[in-house]
Amino acid sequence: MVTVLFYALLGLAGLALVYVLLTRNLVRTLIGLLFVLLAQAALYAFAGADVLAVSQVIVYVGGVLVLLLFGVMLTGRRLPAAQATVGEMPRTELRSVGAGVVVVGVLMWALVQAVPPEALRVAAAEAPRAAEPLAQLIGHLSLTDYLLGFELLSIVLLVALVGAARIARA
């Protein structure tokens, strides 16, 4: 069951990525990117990297994607409609998409052949467990030893957000 869910998330990320690459509407591209980033966070959670999964959701999905969406909405410009649909794509674009699909397929096949599933099961069983949870350690360090850097980073991000809003209004 876990394997089926893993491959379903992998397929969702792949389909959303193809959607991002093929759509010409900027808002729909951002929605496709949202699904790619959420699927990637779920895959991080499957790998046992809980801090990385939460950071992915907070930083990329919650911050960057919303900032991009508001940047598009604040500009108030009308985007031109797509000039060509998939059925009307020039032959060079179709060849490029076909070549990309072939390259990704060959790389995925090589990866599956290089790493047998038994090796992954053995590596997961022999992985050492940390004595202290990683999230607790990162939280402790970010609020004690690295507090100044953490606060300076938040000020830099706030200045960037105000600057982006100022540029969008101009």
pLDDT tens digits, 101-128: 888 888 888 877 777 767 666 655 565 5
Which pLDDT score is estimated for 128?
58
Res. 77 pLDDT band, cuts 50 70 90: low
Q: Has this prediction a pTM greater than 0.85?
A: no
Each residue of 36-61: pLDDT tens digit? 888 888 888 888 788 888 888 888 87
CA distance 29 to 31: 5
Q: Which DSSP helix (H) or strand (E) runs through 11?
A: helix 2-22
Whether the pLDDT of residue 150 is over 50: the answer is yes
* pLDDT over 90, % of the chain: 1
CA distance 154 to 60: 15
Each residue of 8-18: pLDDT tens digit? 888 888 998 88
CA distance 61 to 50: 16
